């Protein structure tokens, strides 16, 4: 698979498949393979019950979006097929989880898992994560995960990488003091890029103290489909963890 146009919902897609996208967004196309009948039904009927409406007022307490209210709320940006988000939500039923994914096929896959496992502590946003971050209340999240994002390796596309000064500042605004930003990638250049952007932010510290802290997955980490493929192909991922200060 070419890394130039990685689509979490369609791992065989290439950059040639990427359609026109809104200016300034951090994702490519919104739809890949044609949905099966039940997937389309889930998009039509289940997604509206779980979807966040960022056109409305910002909630004073994100925990109230869940029933029962979550003790803390975490966000996963670009959840792809949803393996990691589903595992997290099932492992921590007392927490609330928000999944952001613009690709329709990825959304259909996670909806099928939510239905199959009767998961009640996930809410979804089918759009640009930058818009979601702008809508979220300040200091409302305990953690943000960004796992194997599109690296946009060509220099002219670097402005589409999610990690930028503006998004780092946006994440700092919505994370609680002591909250975490977790980043996983097998693209060395994007890992170095992320370390550089977070290092120049006064709002975050990199928590690694030894090599194993960033070379090995966290103890409770669920490997994604793409992560397993990267391992089979000999690509080594870095697991970067940053803590919000102040």
34 burial (CB, 10 Å; 0-12 / 13-18 / 19+) is exposed
Q: Strand runs (DSSP E) across the chain, as ranges? A: 73-77, 96-100, 122-125, 141-147, 175-185, 204-206, 238-244
**Does 150 qualify as catalytic in the annotation?**
yes
- Rounded to 10 deg, the angle between the 104-117 and 83-91 helix axes is 30
β pairing state of 73-77 and 141-147? parallel
Catalytic residue among 150, 165, 213, 220: 150
Q: How far apart are CA 34 and CA 17, in angstroms?
A: 14
Buried b (16+ CB within 10 A) or exposed e, 81-93: bbbbbbbbbeebe
- Rounded to 10 deg, the angle between the 165-174 and 188-199 helix axes is 60
Q: How far apart are CA 87 and CA 84, in angstroms?
A: 5
Q: How far apart are CA 47 and CA 107, in angstroms?
A: 8
Distance of CA 142 to the CA centre of its chain: 14
Residues belonging to the active site: 150
């Amino acid at each position: 698979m070419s890394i130039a146009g990685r689509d979490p919902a369609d791992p065989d897609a290439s950059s040639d498949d990427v359609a026109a996208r809104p200016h300034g967004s951090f994702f490519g196309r919104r739809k890949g393979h044609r949905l099966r009948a039940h997937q389309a039904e889930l998009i039509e009927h289940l997604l509206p019950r779980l979807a966040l409406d960022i056109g409305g007022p910002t909630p004073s307490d994100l925990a109230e979006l869940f029933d029962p209210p979550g003790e803390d709320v975490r966000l996963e940006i670009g959840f792809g097929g949803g393996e990691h988000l589903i595992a997290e939500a099932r492992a921590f039923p007392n927490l609330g989880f928000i999944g952001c994914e613009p690709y329709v096929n990825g959304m259909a896959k996670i909806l099928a898992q939510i239905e199959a496992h009767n998961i009640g502590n996930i809410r979804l946003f089918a759009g640009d994560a930058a818009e979601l971050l702008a809508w979220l209340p300040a200091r409302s999240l305990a953690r943000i995960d960004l796992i194997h994002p599109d690296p946009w390796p060509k220099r002219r596309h670097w402005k589409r990488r999610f990690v930028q000064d503006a998004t780092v500042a946006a994440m700092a605004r919505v994370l609680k003091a002591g909250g975490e930003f977790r980043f996983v990638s097998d693209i060395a250049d994007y890992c170095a890029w992320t370390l550089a952007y977070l290092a120049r932010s006064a709002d975050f510290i990199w928590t690694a103290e030894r090599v194993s802290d960033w070379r090995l997955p966290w103890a409770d980490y669920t490997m994604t489909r793409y992560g397993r493929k990267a391992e089979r192909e000999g690509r080594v991922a870095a697991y970067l963890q940053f803590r919000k200060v102040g």
